[in-house]
A and B are shown apart, each in its own frame.
Chain A
Amino acid sequence: MMKLKNVFASRWGIIAVGALIGVLATLLQKFGNPPNMGICVACFERDIAGALGLHRAEVVQYLRPEIIGFVLGSFLSALLFREFRPRAGSAPIARFVLGVFAMIGALVFLGCPWRAVLRLAGGDWNAILGLAGLAAGIWIGTLFLKGGYNLGRSQSTYPSVGLMMPIIMLGFLAFIFLNPHIPGEPKSGILFYSLKGPGSMSAPLWISLAAGLVIGILAQQSRFCTMGAIRDLILFRQTHLFGGFAALLVFAFLSNFFLGQFHPGFQNQPIAHNLHVWNFAGMTLAGLAFALAGGCPGRQLFLSGEGDGDAAVFVVGMIVGAAISHNFGLASSPAGIGPHGAAAVIVGLIVCLFIGFTMRHKSA
C-alpha cells in the first residue's frame, strides 16, 4: 500500500520548515533565550551536560526543554505517521567518538550549524568563517563517502531500544518538574542552574518545550538536516535539503531585522570570539564528524526520536563531548579559545581521518 504523500518532504515543505525554525528561533531569543542562540543544538546539549553536573562551568547549566521537545516531537510524529522503526548496531562506538569530537569542534567555534546560521542572521560575521569551515569539513567527508566510506548496516531491533532516547528525554522532563529553578539559587535538587551567562538566559519553560515539540514534529517529517544540505549539494548537486537551510537563514534574518536583533559586525558579538582560524578549524572538525556520522546534531536528535539507536549514541557522545570540553579547557568563550582547544581540534581531525580512511567497504 502506498503511504499518503508526505507534503513536508516536498521542496516547498522543507523550505516552509526551515523558515519556521528561523522565525521560532529568533522569537525564542525575544522570549529570553541567549542572543543569536534561539536554538543551538550543540550549546543546548552542553547546557544539559552542565545542568546534570557532568561539567561545572557555572555559566552554561540549564536543562534545555527545546532538546527534550525535539526528541519527543520527532517520536510523536514517527508514531503518528507510522515511521517509528527501532534500529541499531551500525558502528555505535565510532558514532560515539564522532559525537564527542563534533561537540568539541562546535564548542571551539561556539555553535552548531543551526547557530552558525542564526549568528549570521543576527549580523555576526564571524559565523561566515564557521560556515566556511563547516562546508570544508563536509567536503572532506564527501571525499570519504566517494571512496566507499560507510559505518555499516544497522539491524532492526526491539522497540525498547528505539524508545530509549524518548524515555531519557521524558526523564529529563521529570527532572525539570521535580527540581524547578529557585530564583537566585545555583542548584535545585539534583539540577544545576546558571545564575549568569548564557545558561541563565531562557525563554519560559512552556514556550521552549512547545517550540521544541513543533520543530521536532516538522523536522522529523521534512528530514531537515543542515549537514545534509551542504553534503547533497557537493555530492549530488541536489538542492532539496539546501532549500530548508537557506530558508532558515533568510527568515531568521528577516525576523531578527523586524525584532531589532540584527547587529552587524565582527567585534563584540554575543557568545562569540573572532579568532578566524579557530572559528574555521573548529567547524571543519564538526562538519567532518557530522558528515561521517550522517547528520547534523539536530537531525541526530530527530533520528533518535524515530527509533534510531545509533543516532542516539551520537547524541550521547555529544553530551559527553560537552562535558569533556568544559572539564578539560577545550571549549571557547568570548575571551577566545580554551587552553587546550587547538590541540583538541587537531586530535579530533586525526581521529576523524582515521575513521574515514579505515571504515570503507568497496562493494557498496
Chain B
Amino acid sequence: MSAVVDARGLSCPQPVMMTLNRIEALGKGVIEVLVDTDTSMENVARLAKNKGWSVKEIQDEGTGYKLVLEK
C-alpha cells in the first residue's frame, strides 16, 4: 500500500515530522513524499535512512521533488 505525504510549501521541520509520523504509522510499505526544497529533500532522505527505510527514487519535478521511500 502506498501513502502520500504532501509537505510542499512547509518549512523545517514539518516535512521530516510528517514523514516520521507516516513511517511510524505504517511500519512498512511505500511512502511518496512531496517536498519543494532541496533542504527538505535531503532531510527526508536522511530520516528515511536513519529509520531503516530505503530511498528508492528521487524525482526532480521542476517545482520540487518526489521521494519514494520503501521498507
Binding site for B on A (CB under 8 A): 1-3, 6, 9, 81, 83, 85, 87, 90, 145, 150-151, 153-156, 223, 225, 228, 231-232, 235-236, 238, 240, 294-295, 308, 310, 364
A240 pairs with B58, CB closer than 8 A: no
In the complex the two chains form, is B38's CB within 8 Å of A6's CB? Answer: yes
Contact residues in A for B54 (Cβ distance below 8 Å): none
Q: Nearest Cβ distance between residue A78 and chain B, in whole angstroms?
A: 9
CB atoms of A232 and B8 under 8 A apart: no
B9 touching A231 by the CB < 8 A rule? no
The secondary structure that dominates the A interface is loop
Q: Verify A151–B60 contact, CB threshold 8 A.
A: no
Please tell me if B1 contacts chain A, counting CB pairs below 8 Å: no
**Nearest CB in chain B: distance from A40 CB, A:** 22
Known contacts A87-B9, A236-B20, A236-B47; is-contact A9 B42 (Cβ 8 Å): yes
> Are B37 and A85 in touch, CB under 8 angstroms?
yes
CA distance A238 to B58 in the complex (A): 22
Q: List 6 A-B contacts (CB under 8 A).
A: A81-B38, A85-B36, A85-B37, A150-B14, A236-B47, A295-B11
Indicate whether B39 reaches chain A with its CB closer than 8 angstroms.
yes
| Residue B12 CB within 8 A of the other chain | yes
Q: Is B3 an interface residue (CB 8 A)?
A: no
With CB as the reference atom, state the residue of chain A lying closest to B10.
A153
The 8 closest A-B pairs by CB, nearest first: A153-B9, A294-B11, A154-B9, A83-B38, A9-B42, A294-B12, A223-B39, A150-B14
Q: Which residues of B contact A6 (CB under 8 A)?
A: 38, 42
CB distance from A289 to the nearest CB of B (A): 15
A1 and B59 CA atoms in complex are apart in Å by 6
- Residues from chain B with a CB closer than 8 A to the CB of A153 are 8-10
